[in-house]
Amino acid sequence: MNNRIAAALLFTHIDDIRGGRIVSFPFSDFCDPFVDEGKAWCDVSAPLLARNVPIQIRCLRNDIPAADSRFRTVGQLAWHGTDLTRSEAEIWSGFAKNARRYIMRAERIGLVARESSALEDLRTFHTMHCHVRKSKYNLLAQPFAFFEHLHAGFVPSDSLVVMIAEYHGSPVAGAIFFVPDYA
């Protein structure tokens, strides 16, 4: 018997004031299921469908769920990325003219971006994140404990990076990145 995992779908079952639902990897932009053929997708999705609650999956690169007639597409996200394997000069020339102008202006006025894995910088990010979720989206943010668990799980393997942009020492923006281990 082969004990190799053939398919996976990260999800959580949420049951709150809005009702029961399944969300694939909540609090992320996307999380494609780990499947490469229709049969494996049917096997991994059938137990979720049996729960008879709405299911939300955010896919970017895997078209298999969209081809499944049991599901329907309700929106599409815009995605952009930058190939960081190129030289700095190639990356710079690939930016739109306006983007290059904004970057140069940010440097001129003293905006500084720094990389960190410190829990305190993750707390700084969380403070900004809470403000944006509340003021822009009218949503509650994840509790800091969620980010503490991410920190504990990913920092020991150097797989989590917090970027903080500061203006004269005060944080003005932040982002979290998960660094895949392709080894």
Q: Are residues 167 and 117 in the same domain?
A: yes
2, part of any domain: no
89, part of any domain: yes
The count of domains in the chain is: 3
Q: Are residues 50 and 101 in the same domain?
A: no
Lowest mean pLDDT among 26-35, 66-75, 93-102: 26-35
pLDDT-derived band at 128 (thresholds 50, 70, 90) equals very high
pLDDT of residue 10: 86
Cα 16–chain centre separation: 23
4, part of any domain: no
Q: Are residues 49 and 103 in the same domain?
A: no
Is the distance from CB of 158 to CB of 117 less than 8 angstroms?
yes
Q: Are residues 138 and 173 in the same domain?
A: yes
pLDDT of residue 27: 62
48, part of any domain: yes
Q: Are residues 100 and 115 in the same domain?
A: no
Q: Are residues 20 and 36 in the same domain?
A: yes
5, part of any domain: no
Determine the average pLDDT of the residues in 98-115: 96
Q: Are residues 86 and 125 in the same domain?
A: no
Residue 92 belongs to domain spanning:
80-109
Q: Which carries the bigger pLDDT value, residue 80 or residue 54?
A: 54
Q: Which residue has the tokens 């894995």?
A: 117
Exposure string over 23-32, b if 16+ CB within 10 A, otherwise e: bbbbeeeebb
